[in-house]
Structure 1
Amino acid sequence: FHEQIKSGDVRVLGGTAFALSSQNQPLEVRHYGLKLLQHLVRIRWDELNHEEKGKMTGMVLDMVKEFATPHEAWSMKSQTAALVAEVTRREEPDVWKGMLKSLLPISDMSPVHAEMVAMVMRWLPEDVIVHNEDLETTRRRQLLSELTESLPQLFPFFYKLLEKHFGAGMEAMHLQQMELAKQHAAVVTAALQAVLVYAEWSPVTNFSSYGLVEACGFLINSPEFRLAACEILKQLLSRRKPYDEDVELFNSVLARVYEILSSVCDAYFVHYDGGGSAPLEFAECLCEALVALGSQNLQVISSNNQKLATYYRQMLKFLQHSEFPLHVQALPLWLGLLRDSLSVERNKVIIARPTVVVPIETASVLLDVAFQKLLKDGQEEEFTSAVDYSQYRGRLIELIRLVAHHHHDLGITKKISSQVFILHSILLSNPSLQEYFILESTHTMLDAVVTGCFARGGTSELLDGLLQRLLTVHWSEPELVEIHAKCFDALVPYIKNVPTAVPTVIQKLFQLLVTVPVVSKEASSTNSKARFQVCTSFLRIAKLAGPALFPHMQIVAETMTRLQQERHLLRGEYILLGESLLVAGSTAGYEQQNQVLEWLLGPFRDYWCHSDWQQKYLCDPAGFVRLLGTTTTENLSGDEGMWYIFHSIHFFEKALRRCAAGVEGNPSSHPMAVHMSWILPPLIQLLRCLHSLWIPSILSTLPPPVRQAIHLSASEQASILGESKTVDHKEDELRNWLKSVRDSGYNVLRYASSRLGNQFFVNMSGLSGPLATGLMESLSSMEFRHLRSLVHSVIQSFVRFCPQSLREVWLGQLLPPLLVHCHATLPLAWENLVREGAVKTGTLFAVDGSSGINTELVEERMLRELTREVCTLLAIMASSELNPEQQPGMLCSYALWFNIYFFLRSYVIQHSAAAFATVHLGIQSLQWPDSDAVHRGAVFCGAVIDVAGPLNDTNLREIVGKDMFTAIIQSLTLESNSAAHAELLGLLREILVKLSPHTSTPKQVSPSAP
């Protein structure tokens, strides 16, 4: 019945709505009547003729008078005001002027009438500042123009309401007429709320010209109205100067606003310091207003040193305030001011607002506050999540670093002496674990200060003493050893300026490493964390102080060898230390880097090239399964086992990534180039065996632990969905190994192709066949998540960097099976998703981990990610960057080498199935409901169109003119493709222009297209 009334005759709807909203009806019925009227005005207003519209407008205005009674529900008054505003927005421009003349006199009838008129004025500009899809852009522009023209009438009206009813309310209070005083107060509140809406868009200078700034300055001293008045002034300070406003007038208005707020702020602090209290909400609004001034319009006071000093003092008080929300609101202001100064200093850029120099006295207070807050425990209770708390601490650390950067002289550096003395006092004693939080916070502050102060160089007697103390202290608890290593981390920017300290620091780090015993996996993780932190400290020294570390690399290498022989060094730790040597060696020159690399890779090569383990584990899947049982030797640095193999591959990846290119950046002289010949053959065979585990005939024979490990666990599902879930590392050890080996193995191939360049493809061309077999042999059994990783990490890199002369050798074996497989699986998966809501990818889910996880969402996410990577591959193939040898002026300049040389020219000859699959894969990608895939697929389709015209291939022209043309038109109907309409329409135009001279197919298809 409700829908029948709304969709029935519009005149019956109007009569019914007015009858239901009359005052003799119950409140619920009247609410329903107003809802019907709002529906009529918003949706069906144009169905009324001019006379009916005029009559209804008059009736709506009469409702303002009718509902303006002292005991009327506020909701009825508010909805009626909104209805009047809606009628005004729907009517023609000249109607607004007449309604304004009718509305303003109504306000003189009573305080309640004045309140309702103010409500109408508050609702009226809603569509100017809030996007309303029901209102056309042209009408919205007209409304803004009408309201702007009416401001000379509206602003004096608002001022009159504020002045008249505030005075009348005070008089009523004096006469103990409380009910009347409430009515006058409601008028003032409604007027202030209306002014606030106009403060968001109307010219700032008008607020001063018509006295509204002074009115707010007066009302902000009234407890009842100060919050609303402060909101208006805050909004004005947040405004950016429009191009059509005079700069001096604009700044003068905001300067006056600041004077008002400054006076209020000083009064607030006097009251607060005297033991008084004020509502936190008002103090927050006041703080936000002053933050808005500093963030948007600091030019208002920046030229006046006295005002600027006052502003700094006030914002420091908010930063130091005991009310935590005020402190948090003031913090971003100081970060913004210091960041701006740093940007100007470093980049010589010109920013929109003026930069100011924070005085050293102010900087000192900023450091004090940051230190105090970082050392204070229990503040996480002030935040709703651990992420928010972490971000807050991050802002404090950034504040320390920025202050230290701007004031890096010893005067401000000595300001940290109290914090250093805290560290000294703890170092002198045997600290308890209860002091861990203080020690952690002090280390964090030290890191920020040293980073800011000593990035440019220099020394400090204060830090000299601290470094010596760190070198002499002896701790054995893993938690304290971890902090000890972090303190060295913090001092690295300083240490690199004191090269003589490097050998003693290295010696101390090795002592710390030996202090914490090597433990088994079942032991507490605190030992592992402490040892990992010590190794990470080596890496940080190498990154920031590589030249200072290089002369002592021999000491590091010899110590690593000794600790390894004594079983004091895990394989993962050995790799971290080795990585630090690679980083340091890359700064010393090509020859030195070769020496370091040869020394580090020697032990790996001895085992990796040995035929025994390859024959034992890599000849067939059964042997590979036996490898997965050799987990007990992970703690033994030199013994065989699956973890040794993983660490070997991981180090190959690190070496490829960390080593710098050869002389003058020439990739052909990359230090790793000579090592790929012995690294790749076992790696390829290893990946081949790994891929084979998912083949159904092999999967059914796997031992239960291995079969369970290849299933998608609950934690992996949560990660795919962007959720968090606790991982049982012991239970997932085998699963983690399989994933880590796959990822590192793919990355070795990725970095080898991208960093070694042509030399890799030339020297390793003999391995192109085994590599294609290893990667593509089990393609039909590969899960979507694994195929996505393969395409992203390996195939895309090979397509980007393979030289043109070797593309048939490498890509001719990799791309055809991959693209044919993708064409066979992706369209079917998308069809299942669209029709049945489930992808049905065949992903193996862990039986004990699927509960509570929506497996269909997981499969859909994996399908989308794979589709986007495949479409990215197509877009890379269509990149003009891959055809650098093409001369300007050649046909199909946008098309890639792949289209011309390898793909389209070989359409029927060499790779006809792959060519057919690839073209249709690109076409079908336009019809799948994934906007990212559509954007990338459109790039490829554009290249195919470019080639189809000049290339004399009837089949290709038929596919483009019919299949692609129809698919593009169908894709325009998908809601998910709304952002790609311009690209899709451009493809249609290209087909018509470039294929019309050769075939009439597009024109024949157009009339029958959907």
Structure 2
Amino acid sequence: MKVTTSLWNMYVKVWCLWVPQICNVLLEIALHSHSIYSRCLGFFQHFKLALHYQSLQFWLVLLRDAMSKPKLSVHSSGDGLTATNVDSTLAQVDEEKRKILSFLNDDICSTILDISFQRMLKKEKLMTETALSPGILELWSDDFEGKGDFGQYRSRLFELIKFIASNKPLVAGAKVSERIIMIIKSLLNSPMPSQDLAVMESMQMALENVVISIFDGSNEFAGGSSEVHLALCRIFEGLLRELLSLNRTEPALVEVLGHYLEAMGPFLKYFADAVASVINKLFELLNSLPFIVKDPSTRGARHARLQICTSFIRIAKAADKSILPHMKLLRGIHSLWSPSVFQMLPGEIKAAMSMSDVEQSSLLGGGNPKLSKGALTFVDGSQFDMNKEGYIKPNEADIQNWLKGIRDSGYNVLGLSTTIGDPFFKCIDIDFVSLTLIENIQSMEFRHTRLLVHSILILLIKSCPLDMWEVWLERLLHPLFIHCQQALSCSWSSLLHEGRAKVPDNHGILTGSDLKVEVMEETLLRDLTREICSLLSTIASPGLNASLPSLEHAGHVGRVDTSSLKDLDAFASSSMVNFLLKHKSLAIPVLQISLEAFSWTDSEAVTKVCAFSAAVVLLAIFTNNVDLREYVSRDLFSAVIQGLALESNAVISADLVSLSRDIFIYLCNRDPGPWKILLSLPCISPNDLHAFEEALTKTASPKEQKQLMKSFLLLATGNNLKALAAQKCVNIITNVTDKHSIFHCSTL
């Protein structure tokens, strides 16, 4: 009789109803018949998922029972178990378990693993049939008994794999390695490897469960025989070599490979010699992906980069490394620029530490011309003749490329690692991070400090969890702000008054090329200034200051209800600007940078400082902090108006006027600072100031108030505020500024 599809489905449903009961009966008689195992193994291998699924229950129950410890109750009254009875019962149980385990030979376990690995793949993941597809097997699907069961089914498969890996490590290790290597070879030979990607993805969790079961330290591996150790070592070293040989750079494959290398972490704990190879591979994968991804179609590259960075951290943790491995290198490279180390270096190393021709050309705004070489003069006064006999330039280039490669890749890895959030900030040792990044900040060149801020610290600020601010921010930002405030102040003062910025970078420029040096120094100064101001702008971003109120809550001019003012701590819940202001070690250099930036002839930097200053003004308006109110009403108000005297700030004059308007309107009734500063302007009288204030009270329009402020400031300074008087935007790249201030009073 021909069996129809509907009739077959009916048979399957009947089997699904009865198989659980059958499995229980089979378990009872399994000890007495080898054939039972064959029948149950046949069910497990069956192409119909329903029969396979029910058979899975049998094997799990069997393995759990065989591997569980016996529990015997001893009662205090009645016929309690004697020591002899206990020993006899335990012996009987152990004998039964021994028989079960003896039936579970290597061949049966190997077959179970083969089927389990094939059934890891989900039907919806397999777009097309490939050579690695499991053939006629009915794969698990979202349509099979609802979507929720898929996770339960997979978890049971993983449990089965773990049982076997814990008791048959050589079998499990060999089988998982064999299948993954087969997949890798297929990928290497495939013209369209993306078709096999789903199969490779399906095996990652299988590998992870096998490796954890064998190498997590809770089984006999740590104390097993040397023969087992050696065999397992060879198996997983061979697998690792195959993984490292996979050179495909498609983002999806890179992401999967990162998962695989991460899964090998417990193995690396016992075989630390392999860590270096894995780290090198992760660097290679990271560098193979584009860093800036603008095309939405290539968004996968960013996910792949984040996965590689995650793998760095988790491999370091699994291998019992408290830090990211390459951070040891970064700390060493940073130390080369410290005076005590630098003066002991040979001339060839010093030459390699100077700027390359490409870097110098970039600072000069050119393409890639060859710059002449002669005698290099370093900051310590020593010289090195680039043309001396025996000097080989390629050696310098090799060292130069190595130093740059380690720094760039190390910074990129750390920066991207911060974006994964808690796993980074709660697993990495802040003490070592601080030593690595900031220990030699005083000796850093401007180009390197800018890169550090851009590639790591800005991303770290954005990603640091709120509950970790106290642990991380002050440790990293305090020495940075202290150093940068002093260095930028000194260099800008030199540029504005002497016509040349003095920066600590070792250029290696020949004597007589002073003009090139001046241009490069000024470019380096502006680059670092803008990066530090970008850091301040990031700190003041809305996402990091959710608890800051808006001026819309302040009401009409001069009518801020002082009884509603709060303590600075009231905004500590989610305001990073508030966090900085509460820590004086951070607040003092940051506020000083903010003030001085308004006098630096760089509109891009001032734009970013305005964003930070606006947040500071908000806190001054809505809190009862006297020190903060005085800083804003006097120092900041004066600095903003002085910033309007620079023509370079013409492009952002509206922001400066807005700041001055906010300070005067909301704080002049609580602090005399704004009045005193305006009265100190050369072309104003008290009556003019009263008339201006009265005009402000007649309008509630912020736009009209800003226009009134602009007109008043022009009148009060005799039309000498160049940023307001300029008729068009100026793209400033000059270091020229007025030597004489229009102000007759010092900053209060």
Per the normalisation by structure 2, the TM-score is 0.49
Q: Which has the higher relative contact order, 1 or 2, with Cα contacts under 8 A spaced 6 or more apart?
A: 2
Structure-1-length-normalised TM-score: 0.37
